[in-house]
Amino acid sequence: MAKLNDVLARVTDRVREKSRKTREAYLKQMRAAASEGPHRSHVSCGNLAHAAAACGADEKRALAKGGGPNIAIVTAYNDMLSAHQPLGAYP
C-alpha cells in the first residue's frame, strides 16, 4: 500500500484527535440506538405503511418483519415518504 502524504497524514491525525471526544459520544449513542433495534418497530402501522408504500414487494416484506436495516440516501422528507415515488426511476 502506498504511503500516505505526510501533510495529509498530519491533518488526518489532527482531525482524529480533535474529534475524539465527540466521536466517542456519537458512537456510544449509535450503539445504544442499535441495541434498541430498528425504530420502525416502534411506529404506528399507518406510519410504517406510508414509509413502505413506495417499496417493492420484497422490501415491504423485509420492513414488515422489522429485523434488518433500512438504509437510504434521503433527499427530502416528502421524497422518502411519498407513495407517488418521485424518485422511483432515478438510477
How do residues 37-66 score in pLDDT, each as one tens digit? 766 666 666 666 776 777 788 888 877 776
Determine if the pTM surpasses 0.85.
no
What pLDDT is stored for residue 9 in this prediction?
94
Spatial contact of 80 and 51, defined as CB atoms under 8 Å apart:
yes
